[in-house]
Amino acid sequence: MPSLTIKNMPQEVLDRLRERAVSARRSLNSEVLACLEVAAQATPLDPDALLARIRAVRRTPARLQLTDRTLNRLKSEGRS
């Protein structure tokens, strides 16, 4: 089976991997393999599609157009 050597790994990363391995009751090697499997199967983000979805969610329907005047009136309601 192929092997992989990771050089110059920051100590903090190694410590976090060891903590994860202990909490998952796995060896460090098994934890690293599990992390790599998840990362390799992740669907890459499509920035254009994500931006289009954000814009669609943020779009305010025409009947709910808020103006400064409307916002100020709504804020002051019930403050008398």
Q: Would you place residue 64 in the very low, low, confident or very high pLDDT band (cuts 50, 70, 90)? A: low
* Token representation of residue 69: 């005047």
**More confident: 9 or 79:** 9
Neighbour count for residue 20 (Cβ, 10 Å): 15
d(CA 31, CA 29): 5
| Amino acid at the residue 55 | R
Mean pLDDT of 49-73: 81
pLDDT computed for residue 9 by the predictor = 95
Domain ranges for the chain: 11-76
pLDDT computed for residue 61 by the predictor = 66
In three-state secondary structure terms, 4 is coil
Neighbour count for residue 12 (Cβ, 10 Å): 8
Average pLDDT, the chain: 89
pLDDT tens for 12-48 read 999 999 999 999 999 999 999 999 999 999 888 899 9
